[in-house]
Structure 1
Amino acid sequence: MYNINGTLTADQSALTLDNRGLNYGDAVFETLRVQQGKILFWEDHYFRLMSAMRIMRMEIPMEFTPEQLSEQILALVTANELMAKTAVVKLLVYRKSGGLYGPQHLEVEYTMSLRAIESPFYTLNEAPYEVELYKDHYLSPSLLSTLKTNNKALQVLGSIYARENDYQNCLVVNTDKEIVEALNGNLFLVKGDRIKTPAIASGCLNGIMRKQILKLLLELPDYLIEEGPVSPFELQKADEMFLTNVVQGIQPVTKYRKKQYDNKVAKDLIGKLNARVRLS
């Protein structure tokens, strides 16, 4: 089942070939984790979506309130019989069809789709996880690069490069030769008691899980937190590297070139993250 503009249906025919998201990348989206009927970090997701729609000059419908959108999400989860389980919901918002590069109007439509995932809580994948820099194309740091839009050509090509070269992921580099993020998540480096993540100004996605991890770290006096430019040299000097997104939670990196990494901080944080989810 899908939710298309508030209607639950198994028919995708309402999605037409002149869809602006399909034709021009004129769309923003949120990927949400719904755990036993609760949308995790819903307030953060909602306000990020509203911000992205404003930046993209989309008209926000009156019914796009936190309450009504969450009801639509949970209705989709219920229709797919996943209220007692864990699901990942994708909420895609796109401008109505019309015009060419310049739309004739600013009104939007939306779709919601979902898939079930096995684990009812965040788990730490400790299998070998090797990354490499992706340098065929560089990210241009700007406000647009921090949004979740469906302009993902760099990430698609990077994932193909990773698969062809037996890497589990790649790290994105911006035009200033700074390390920005992974193909599907934000980046954290641990060196001693210091934990560093690329700044939003470097062009990284303004990730919801990134925000949650930074909140957790602020409550832990043993760590010093830094947001700033990350050079390739720092990857080799780090004791630990991990990636974050709202679906997986925390993914430790085990290897970058000849460097092997520990996952002690990631293990500590995953437990605290699950505790926060249970108590929220």
Structure 2
Amino acid sequence: MNSSFTIYNQTILNEAESEAFNRRSHLYGDGLFETLRVHQGKICFWESHYFRLMSSMRILRLEIPLNWSPDDLEKEILSFKPEPQIDYRVRFSVWREGGLGYTPNTNSIDWSINFSELDDKGYSSPVKKQKLALFQEHKKSKGLLSNLKLSESILYILAAKFASEQHTDDAIILSQDNHVLETSRGNIFLLKGNELITPSLEDGALRGVMREQILKYAKDANLTSKEEKVNPFDLLKADEIWITNAITGIVSVSDYRKSSYGCLKGDEMQVILNSKCE
């Protein structure tokens, strides 16, 4: 077998040392991930995370291990024995085995779990607030892959970088036809009166776990909900704007361009989400 080596920052690495640099996740972004919140020793909304993971792996033609039942995989993730009084961010990453070459020689997987402690216990209540910008330099295409949390995340990185340069906290990502899809940090909801509006999966929005929960439990806050195309100008007419993800739950937008927004219903919905995660 031919030997190989890697030069890393002017240091020549041997074959064993080079292994981390030759993973397909590193070379091609050939994988996906789930970001989970562990609260009181339990994974919040585990069932939704699990079924999204399984669906995404099938779409990417990744081999699902036979012992990855919902219960067994949950036990594997929680094997680090979380302290009940501490909340954790967990990143569960899955990627295809193999090295160089676009054509895979296997669908077998490697995986890893990263844990980090969070400052808050439960989703912040009242909700945190942030300023929002509009990222237009690059757009997101629609299709089945656009709904997945892929390892390749350069669009989100560039949007987050743009937000920082604009001295805001987050930035809106647009579709190719200039409709609002999400932000660099999560899905987006507009509240008009008692109606919640969020971009549809068919238009390219991320299939967010927290998005799913809010659509499911909106009625508990006496809200109706629907999915439809959202124009950037629609944001200026909203009463509230929420950014949602599995770690923060809901973050309320305080300012977008020259408009300011409330967060009364956002606070109410966050309380409901915390109750569902107990």
Change (3 A) 1:14 1:108: farther
Q: Structure 2 CA distance, aligned partners of 1:209 and 1:15?
A: 35
Q: Which amino acid aligns with 2:30?
A: D
Change (3 A) 1:22 1:133: same
RMSD of the TM alignment (CA)?
1.6
Q: Which amino acid aligns with 1:54?
A: R
Task: Look up the match of 1:53.
Answer: 57
Task: Look up the match of 1:26.
Answer: 30
Equivalent pair of 2:240/2:263 in contact (CA under 8 Å): yes
Q: Structure 2 CA distance, aligned partners of 1:269 and 1:51?
A: 28
Q: Structure 1 CA distance, aligned partners of 2:141 and 2:57?
A: 20
Q: Structure 2 CA distance, aligned partners of 1:152 and 1:23?
A: 13
Written as runs of structure 1 = structure 2, the 5 A alignment for 1:100-249 is: 100-124=101-125, 129-220=130-221, 222-249=222-249
Q: Which amino acid aligns with 2:272?
A: K
Task: Look up the match of 1:5.
Answer: none
Task: Look up the match of 2:76.
Answer: 72
**Matched residue SS, 2:66:** coil
The superposition leaves residues 109-135 of structure 1 with CA deviations (integer Å, 9 ceiling, x where unpaired) of 100011001222111465652111100
Equivalent pair of 1:122/1:248 in contact (CA under 8 Å): yes
**Matched residue SS, 1:273:** helix
> In the TM superposition, what is the alpha-carbon distance from 1:14 to its structure 2 partner?
10
Equivalent pair of 2:198/2:230 in contact (CA under 8 Å): yes
Structure 1 range deviating more: 108-117 or 94-103: 94-103
Q: Structure 1 CA distance, aligned partners of 2:127 and 2:57?
A: 37
Change (3 A) 1:63 1:240: same
Task: Look up the match of 1:257.
Answer: 257
Runs of at least 4 residues of structure 1 off by over 6 A? none
How many residues are aligned here?
262
Equivalent pair of 1:124/1:250 in contact (CA under 8 Å): no
Q: Which runs of 5+ in 1 are unaligned?
A: 1-12
The superposition leaves residues 247-271 of structure 1 with CA deviations (integer Å, 9 ceiling, x where unpaired) of 0010000011001001111011011
> In the TM superposition, what is the alpha-carbon distance from 1:87 to its structure 2 partner?
0.7
Q: Which amino acid aligns with 2:184?
A: L
> In the TM superposition, what is the alpha-carbon distance from 1:192 to its structure 2 partner?
1.1
Equivalent pair of 1:197/1:228 in contact (CA under 8 Å): yes
Q: Which runs of 5+ in 2 are unaligned?
A: 1-16
Equivalent pair of 2:190/2:197 in contact (CA under 8 Å): yes
Equivalent pair of 1:125/1:251 in contact (CA under 8 Å): no
Q: Structure 2 CA distance, aligned partners of 1:70 and 1:224?
A: 33
TM-score (norm 1): 0.89
Change (3 A) 1:206 1:56: same
> In the TM superposition, what is the alpha-carbon distance from 1:15 to its structure 2 partner?
6.2
Q: Which amino acid aligns with 1:169?
A: D
Equivalent pair of 1:124/1:251 in contact (CA under 8 Å): no
**Matched residue SS, 2:242:** strand
Matched-pair identity in %? 35
